[in-house]
Chain A
Amino acid sequence: MTQLIFLVIKGCIVFFFCVGLAAMLIWGERKFAGFMQSRLGPNYAGPGGVLQTFGDLAKLLRKEDITPDWVDKPVYKMAPYLLWIPAALSMSVIPFGPLDAQILSWRTDLVIANFDAGVVLFLAMGSMAIYGIVLAGWSSNSRWSLLGAIRSGAQMISYELPMGFAIVGVMILAGSMNLVEIVDKQAGNFWNWFWLPQLVGFVIFFIASIAELNRTPFDLPEAEQELVAGFMTEYSGMRWGIFMFSEYVNMIVMSAIMATFFFGGWRAPFEAWNVVPGFVWLILKIMFCIFLYMWIRWTIPRYRYNQLMDLGWKVLMPLALVNLAVTALVVVI
């Protein structure tokens, strides 16, 4: 019974953490973008502008909810949520600390679900985001939305495969699909983490994750709007706000996954520093990954569509396969 209560509490904490961090990230991205462009970001709403997101939220909530006549209403309304809720669900398998940890006087696992096929859950849920985009564009019943949605869908599907193969390399090294065990196998100092033996895999995963998140340099659905706004065209007000918000939630989830697979999850960089609780390290690693995503977004231009597909299929896929083969060989031998 107490475990059930703990489950609910853990779920709430993780959910609110995700949502709250996404709201702060919107402000953070704008501030960081400003800094890199030699200007101050938002600094008016609240100290340092931290309340900017809430100001935007209030504005969007007060907007009129325009649902165009010609859209497929149930799908149109459901699509924004499909984009991030399944992805956020994969936060349930990420360990925030060791199993059977002691918090004050209670013992609990610092993970919502100690699931044996955690990797599979993450991959499956990540693929649901594709549904969100394609359905959003399709239900909008407009040629630009459909065009943007299909291109984005094709991009995300193409990059799912190298991502998956990069993860398989990690799975081979860890010998398990359970994220808790993957983190346990990275015990030690930061050179024991999987980013070092799987360097190629890490780079492939990083690039593929940027494509999954629809961020520059792969942000064709979002910003190659020489014509119109892609799959988001017919969305306005809070529905559009959900799309924006979902990008940041996806970013948090992807960073958490990357931290778990390649940076040792909740483990400290040095053995002696494990006195600091695990979730602090995890959060620091998530912030670091997000920082990298943002830095890259604001520096480099974006790929053209055919170059993007070339990169996914002709470069990353073979590299991922080679990485997998080499890892398997090394482990066997």
Chain B
Amino acid sequence: MGLKDAIKKVTFFEILQGMTVTGKYAATKKVTIQYPKEKGEPFPRFRGLHALISNPETGELNCDACHLCETVCPSGCITIDSSEGPDGNKQLDRFDLDLARCIFCGFCEEVCPRAAIVLTPVYELATFDKNDFYLTKEKLLANQVNAHKELKKR
């Protein structure tokens, strides 16, 4: 062991070096975001709460009741009832989404050919009542205000 190493050992050099690093962290700006007073902004592609999109003028749902999202969902959390509407096309009767089963994979959004279901950046989903996790068509429609505007284009 050379002289330099011996001196370093005696003066606890590397321990003091380590202490300067933590000391520097103590003196610099902290990374804490003080939730709930400050909130981080999710990115546009964030996979949060779902929303059903409707045409803002006519109020008509984008959804064509094609059952693609229901079929592709890996956890089977979407239940769709469709029937023949007055103009001969399929119309959506029931769209239920069990949020407790959802794994937020985004497949339903990905396969939808009409951009009818999107995932919004809403992530504060905690609730005291478990029934709030069973989302119906109305609740999903109400959430479309939070959807990123580019995803809503039909």
A38 contacts B31, C-beta separation under 8 Å: yes
| Contact status of A299 and B19, CB under 8 A, knowing A38-B30, A38-B31 | yes
With a CB–CB cut-off of 8 A, which chain A residues contact B30?
34-35, 38-40
Please measure, in the bound complex, the distance between the C-alpha atom of A295 and the C-alpha atom of B20, giving whole angstroms. 10
Output the least CB separation between A303 and chain B (Å).
12
Secondary structure at the A interface, as helix, strand, loop or mixed, is: loop
The reply on A37 being an interface residue by CB < 8 A is yes
Interface size range on A against B = 10 to 19
Residue A190 CB within 8 A of the other chain: no
Stretch of B21-29, B48-56, B94-102 with 4 or more beta carbons under 8 angstroms from chain A: B21-29
| B89 located at the interface, meaning its Cβ lies under 8 Å from any Cβ of chain A in the complex | no
How many A-B pairs have beta carbons closer than 8 Å: the answer is 35
> CB < 8 Å: which of A36, A39, A296, A300 contacts B31?
A39
- Tell me which residues across on chain B come within 8 A of A38, comparing CB atoms: 25, 28, 30-31
Q: How far is the CB of A256 from chain B (nearest CB, A)?
A: 23
Residue of B nearest to A39 (CB): B32
A296–B18 Cα distance when bound, in Å, is: 9
Partner of A36, one of B15, B22, B32, B34: B22
Residues in chain A near residue B26, CB distance under 8 A: 32, 35-36
CA distance A37 to B22 in the complex (A): 7
Are A295 and B31 interface neighbours, CB within 8 A? no
Contact residues of B with A, CB < 8 Å? 15, 18-19, 21-23, 25-28, 30-32, 34
Besides A35-B30, A36-B25, A36-B26, 15 more A-B contacts (Cβ < 8 Å) are A35-B27, A36-B22, A36-B23, A38-B28, A38-B30, A39-B30, A40-B34, A43-B34, A295-B19, A295-B22, A296-B15, A299-B18, A299-B19, A299-B22, A300-B15
Contact surface of A with B, Cβ cutoff 8 Å: 32, 34-40, 43, 295-296, 298-300
**Shortest 3 CB-CB distances between A and B: which pairs?**
A35-B26, A36-B22, A40-B32
